[in-house]
């Protein structure tokens, strides 16, 4: 399987029936990026669509893809170690996502949150969020991903399989970035949304907080099962 083909498989899965599985992360990623857009405002170093949407989205990508790849590499000891401790890591990830949600909710009330206007800080926060999302994401096994996991599960091909998984996850992230950019572009041009930016930001914080709650309470499996029911049906 070629690396570009893996990117294409990940990207196309986002716009296919397999989206019912990616819904574990899609609405929450969109809420994060949209909430940041309405939080950071038109001033500062992150002004504009590129800084306020593309910067966090692109920074999210390496965190998500690298961790996603490591989790697939069960043919190597490092991959098995991550999987063995996944329960603890998912709880930590849920806590971090909760902090991100609270940051959006409390924006403008805590002076320290103004640091998120700085590109370096925003990139670091988004990178860590990408890692957190990868830890809590349990993907459905598409035909392409089945081949990748088969390679990643054998010691002699684990690195190759993990690399393919990284590119597959990159395709998913590119689709997420494209969707977030279009969504924010449209919302920013709806007068009532633009006039109530604080309310929009609060709604995004609530959505992100739901993801944190699902993971901290251990009920994410029911959320996933609900959407998988549509796929099975």
CA distance 156 to 85: 23
| pLDDT tens-digit map of 154-196 | 999 999 999 999 999 999 999 999 999 999 888 877 877 767 7
Q: Look over the chain and give the mean of its residue pLDDT values, rounded to a whole number.
A: 86
Q: Which residue has the higher pLDDT, 147 or 16?
A: 147
CA distance 39 to 6: 35
Cβ 161 vs Cβ 149: under 8 Å: yes
Q: In the predicted model, what is the mean pLDDT of residues 35-41?
A: 80
Max intra-chain CA distance, the chain? 57
Q: Which residue has the higher pLDDT, 182 or 230?
A: 182
pTM: 0.89
Contacts 24+ apart (CB under 8 A), 85-94: 86/135, 89/135, 90/135, 90/136, 90/215, 90/220, 91/215, 91/216, 92/132, 92/135, 93/131, 93/132, 93/133, 93/135, 93/136, 93/215, 94/132, 94/136, 94/211, 94/212, 94/213, 94/214, 94/215, 94/216
Cβ 57 vs Cβ 181: under 8 Å: yes
Give the pLDDT band (50/70/90) at residue 126: very high
Q: How far is CA 164 from CA 8, 10, 70, 131, in A?
A: 11, 10, 11, 18
Per-residue model confidence (pLDDT) at position 207: 94
């Amino acid at each position: 399987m070629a690396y570009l083909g893996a990117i294409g498989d990940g990207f196309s899965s986002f716009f296919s029936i397999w989206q019912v599985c990616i819904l574990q992360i899609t609405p929450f990623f969109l809420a994060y990026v949209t909430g940041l857009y309405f939080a950071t405002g038109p001033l500062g170093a992150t002004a504009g669509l590129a800084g306020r949407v593309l910067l966090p989205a692109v920074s999210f990508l390496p965190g998500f893809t690298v961790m996603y790849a490591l989790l697939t590499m069960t043919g190597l000891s490092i991959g098995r170690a991550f999987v063995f401790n996944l329960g603890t890591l998912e709880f930590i990830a849920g806590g971090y996502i909760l902090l991100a949600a609270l940051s959006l909710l409390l924006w403008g009330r805590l002076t320290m949150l103004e640091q998120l206007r700085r590109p370096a800080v925003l990139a670091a926060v988004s990178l860590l969020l990408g890692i957190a999302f990868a830890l809590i994401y349990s993907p459905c096994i598409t035909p392409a991903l089945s081949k990748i996991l088969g390679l990643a599960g054998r010691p002699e091909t684990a690195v190759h399989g993990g690399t393919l998984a990284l590119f597959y996850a990159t395709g998913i992230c590119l689709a997420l970035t494209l969707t977030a950019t279009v969504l924010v572009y449209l919302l920013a041009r709806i007068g009532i949304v633009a006039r109530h930016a604080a309310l929009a930001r609060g709604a995004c914080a609530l959505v992100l907080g739901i993801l944190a709650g699902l993971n901290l309470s251990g009920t994410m499996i029911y959320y996933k099962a609900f959407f998988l029911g549509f796929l099975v049906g």
